[in-house]
Structure 1
Amino acid sequence: MEPVVTSCGGCGKAIRIRRPDVERRRECPACGAAVSVPRPDRGPDAAPRGEPRRRAMLGAAGLAELTLLLMAAAPLAAWCAVAWSTVATASPPWAGEIRLQPTALHVAPVEATRDLASARELALKALEPARRAMRVVSAVRQGLATPARGDEIADAPVVAPGPTPPVLVPPDFGAPSAREFAASSPIEAERRFLIRDDSGRQVVARLHGCHEGKAVLMLPDGRLGLPSMLVPTDEPFRAATADEVAEDLARGPFEGFNVHRTDHYLILHQGEDDSFARTNGVLLEDLHGRLLAAFRKHDVTVHEAEFPLVAVIFKSEEDFRNHRPVAPDVQAYYEIYSNRIFLYEQPSGRRGGPEVDALLRPQMTAHEGTHQILQNIGVQPRLAEWPLWLVEGLAEYCSAPASRKGQPAWDGLGQINNLHMATLREIEDPVSLSMRGQDAQTRSLFREPGQPLVEAMIRRTELTPTEYALAWAITHYLAMERSDDFTRFLRVMADAPPLEPRSPDDHVRTFRATFGDDLGKLDRTVHAYLNRLTKRKGYDPMPYYAVQFEQPLANGMVRRAAMVSQSPQLIRQWIDEMSNPAVGVPSWQATPFPSRARAQLAVQGWMQSN
């Protein structure tokens, strides 16, 4: 038989059939549709052998006819699919909540279709509702998703209970992955998406940041989450109210906690006695108000916190550490993803130096509260890459401890931090260095020879207790002596986009652009400024502490050591250096004395008596 030429019923492409007499299934090389071979003995509408006889729909007219058929069938197919899934899952928790609305399909009239490519595109659009419905069925049957209200499908839960929120990967709902969306879509300030929160509710989340395929969403309660898929929506973003957040917390991870409310805070605490929660509530509200006033005074744009601020107070240190394992010296912390601060009321175990611990308690609340407030009033964008000296220096600048009528207290913004002053003076004191068995390396270990101290601090990604004091000193000098430059610097930092990486070199360039290139000169200026602070009102030298350290060894012996220091930070650093995690639990005690000589006598007497 001679070769014949026919047309594909899917795309209309002309196809030459060399052996029409050979019975086999043929497909269009362009679109993959089955190709019928017209033969004189079977008629133009004959189908290949073994297939039912049907009328071939060829070219644009046939494709348009298929389009109209699918338009009519798609809503019914979607309804049947979800209804079948509901019956098959034996009354799941979301049964009765399905509100499937037929998707409106706006298809141009067939007469307006000028070419086959446009007709094919219209057909694919008509198919999309049915495709989406089948994906929903697959996801629901696997227990990986639930149908959303309306005709949209919500994403997987975005939950951020800890410092790094989990990423849950749902099946493909037809929405782009977060990476694909971030790579292909421009960032818009109010880009919004549908997600499901950890309680299973569909909520609207707001794009917080996006960089190199990684997107972070802001949830209505102020938490941040990492989605694996993005479903855009035009619905407005609405911040949760204090009542809604309190209700969710009471049903979730903090069930059984009591809630103490202030104007801006929800303070969760354990037990009926709320005196500790009230004391911290007063401190945090005072801190919030003073920070807003200070920034507005210097023309830094700020706003009230958009979300209720949450502080969680555990009754005991054991409960605090069971909630999230942290380093032994961490007494409180702020979680950037959950937007909550955590602390505890009662220390556990044998802990020495009760006077020092008591003095640090208000400081720790103010320190972590400053982190939380700055990232909620528009000063420090959450997840923006700020240098660590500035992050911790601002927190220390706002959390100077004090003692009023013998009771630990918070001393307000910008006061002289006597704890840090003791540390900074002690690292200059050769007598103190020799007593600890150290030398000038205490202050030079973290910088290169000849490198200015300020530049070394700008490049730091971790801080020791000594470096916390240095971060406070730099911040205090810049805020007090170069307030206009510091305000301009903060405005620049406030514009840093979330998630955009910045290197130590970037931080140094930004700092030099505001404060000048001669960082060695700045070192000397800060040092002279600290010397002047010792003569100002508000400077109250710390007492000298006689520190006694003991740790049982494996052979039944006890290791003992002692030191004298004015600096609680250096005392803790020394304790950490002395402690051996492979043997018994160490204990220590710090007793204050008015002079170094008396503290030394106490240490010598204790060592000789043992």
Structure 2
Amino acid sequence: MPNKRTTQAHDRRLVVSALLTVGFFCLVSGKAFTQEPHTISPRLFGFGVAGGQIRYPEPRENYLVRDRAGNEVVARLHVEVATQRIFLMPDGSLQERAFAQTKPTTRRFVTLHETALAERLEKQFPSFRVHPSHRHIFVFNTSPLFAATTRRVLESMMSGVGTYAKAQRIPTREPPAPLVVIMFRTEKEFQNYKRVPAGVVAYYDPISNHVVLYEESKLMRSRPDLGIQQSLSTIAHEGAHQILHNIGVQQRLSRWPLWLSEGMAEFFAPTQLGRRLTWSGAGKVNNMRMFEIESYLRKQRQATDGRVIKETVGATNLTSTGYAFAWSLVHHLSKNERSRFHQMVRKMSELRPLESVHAFPPNAAICQENLQIFKQYFPKGLDKLEQEMIDHLKKQPYRNPFPNANPALVRPVLIN
């Protein structure tokens, strides 16, 4: 089943994801409304303040603060909690300061130019190459091919995701600061930089605003063709999270229902092999996820009774198969329930930091609030919707990404 727990390490990561994933917009009789939201403790994101009264900033509400090097800088208020303020800093990170450490200012907030940020990263990673581009800065000690592929995929995604969002009337903006991508050659270096559960190969950190990943893996050593295919998919997935958070589609420190957040990242993450390893484009068939769905349905041979959608939408954690069904649901809804789906996404884009539809932690493996929200946007029966989703998938052009591979070698990877 899509939401069945796997390993203990996998569960720990997914529980954290569940705690940080919410939504509170609904449709009743075709009209959107909001219910009174709960708040998420900032400590779930790693901040020191436990919680308290929340205040959201006025337009261009800026303060003078000290950065980590002790320099006085202009920072933009992101959210205020109790006696602490969380700021967007000039380097694009979110940082916390006590009231006494801040001073209101009318000075303009300006993020670091890519050259200045690149120089800072060169000092932090002295043995790495640092390559600034138009909207990204790539920091790496990987092979040149891996770095070049990552750069090509993420740079093409940047414009493609923004264009798609605008076409659906989802408000967007330019990223406030260059998007940093840190690539380590080995898993050991990756884990030494920041300890994450075993099996995680990449993540987007909304606090630092960095994508972090590594190149080498057991699969990459035994079957480089399979390894690069899985790596490429993961790079695009984490890049999608970073882009969506920085162009305003998803506000940082806001959390959407897990199926939608991860399904959207997968929707924007399809890649393809050929003469050049490239991004396929927003909404194209994600062959990696189609491969998992095909394998799952072949083994299960179950009736389309709505159970898959119920478990995917209500899940407070997702296995790799759950990610695949989240993608398939987003793909189906975006094509065949377009008006309702994009209305839901636009409303989710209005979610502010630290708000939730239910109190934390969730008290069940299936989040009933997420199911209620989904049914109010898509009122037809889950069994009928599931059959339509399967029929939709069967019509899609699908190329097996592992046509000559031993299935035992093709294992799901953990993404954050």
* 1:518 aligned partner: 381
* 1:228 aligned partner: 98
* 1:125 aligned partner: none
1:205-604 superposed matches below 5 A:
205-210=75-80, 215-230=85-100, 231-236=102-107, 237-251=109-123, 253-270=124-141, 274-347=144-217, 352-405=222-275, 408-430=277-299, 452-503=307-358, 504-516=367-379, 518-533=381-396, 536=397, 538-540=398-400, 542-543=402-403, 545-546=405-406, 568-569=410-411
Residues 213 and 451 from structure 1, CA distance in 2 versus in 1: closer, same or farther, beyond 3 angstroms? Answer: farther
**Cα offsets for 1:156-204 (capped at 9, x unmatched):** xxxxxxx95564xxxxxxxxx9978x56x66424333332211111222
Residues 454 and 264 from structure 1, CA distance in 2 versus in 1: closer, same or farther, beyond 3 angstroms? Answer: same
Residues 429 and 348 from structure 1, CA distance in 2 versus in 1: closer, same or farther, beyond 3 angstroms? Answer: closer
Preserved contact between residue 178 and residue 213 of structure 1 (Cα < 8 Å): no
1:127-138 superposed matches below 5 A:
none
Q: CA–CA distance in 1 between the matches of 2:218 and 2:113? A: 35
Q: Could you tell me which amino acid in structure 1 is paired with residue 79 of structure 2?
A: G
1:10-159 superposed matches below 5 A:
none
Residues 260 and 350 from structure 1, CA distance in 2 versus in 1: closer, same or farther, beyond 3 angstroms? Answer: closer
- Greater Cα shift, 344-353 or 236-245: 344-353
- SS of the equivalent of 1:206 reads strand
Residues 510 and 214 from structure 1, CA distance in 2 versus in 1: closer, same or farther, beyond 3 angstroms? Answer: farther
- SS of the equivalent of 1:385 reads coil
Q: CA–CA distance in 2 between the matches of 1:481 and 1:386? A: 21
What is the Cα-based RMSD across aligned positions, in Å? 3.2
- SS of the equivalent of 1:496 reads coil
1:480 CA drift (Å): 1.8
1:211 CA drift (Å): 5.4
Q: CA–CA distance in 1 between the matches of 2:390 and 2:82? A: 42
Preserved contact between residue 210 and residue 499 of structure 1 (Cα < 8 Å): no
Structure 2's unaligned 5+ residue stretches are: 1-43, 359-366
Instruction: State TM-score, norm by structure 1.
Output: 0.54
Preserved contact between residue 179 and residue 214 of structure 1 (Cα < 8 Å): no
Q: CA–CA distance in 2 between the matches of 1:377 and 1:292? A: 7
Q: CA–CA distance in 2 between the matches of 1:191 and 1:460? A: 37
1:314 CA drift (Å): 1.5
Q: CA–CA distance in 2 between the matches of 1:186 and 1:305? A: 20
Q: CA–CA distance in 2 between the matches of 1:178 and 1:391? A: 25
1:215 CA drift (Å): 4.4
* 1:139 aligned partner: none
Q: CA–CA distance in 2 between the matches of 1:520 and 1:457? A: 13
Preserved contact between residue 239 and residue 306 of structure 1 (Cα < 8 Å): yes
Report 1 or 2 for greater relative contact order, CA contacts < 8 Å, sequence distance ≥ 6: 2
Residues 317 and 379 from structure 1, CA distance in 2 versus in 1: closer, same or farther, beyond 3 angstroms? Answer: same
**Cα offsets for 1:197-225 (capped at 9, x unmatched):** 11111222222124577642211111012
Structure 1's unaligned 5+ residue stretches are: 1-162, 168-176, 434-438, 445-449, 548-562, 574-610
Instruction: State TM-score, norm by structure 2.
Output: 0.77
Q: CA–CA distance in 2 between the matches of 1:213 and 1:526? A: 48
1:524 CA drift (Å): 1.9
Residues 526 and 212 from structure 1, CA distance in 2 versus in 1: closer, same or farther, beyond 3 angstroms? Answer: farther
* 1:124 aligned partner: none
- Greater Cα shift, 297-306 or 224-233: 224-233
Q: CA–CA distance in 2 between the matches of 1:349 and 1:507? A: 36
* 1:192 aligned partner: 62
Residues 233 and 211 from structure 1, CA distance in 2 versus in 1: closer, same or farther, beyond 3 angstroms? Answer: closer
**Cα offsets for 1:100-158 (capped at 9, x unmatched):** xxxxxxxxxxxxxxxxxxxxxxxxxxxxxxxxxxxxxxxxxxxxxxxxxxxxxxxxxxx
1:257 CA drift (Å): 2.4
Identical-residue share of aligned pairs (%): 29
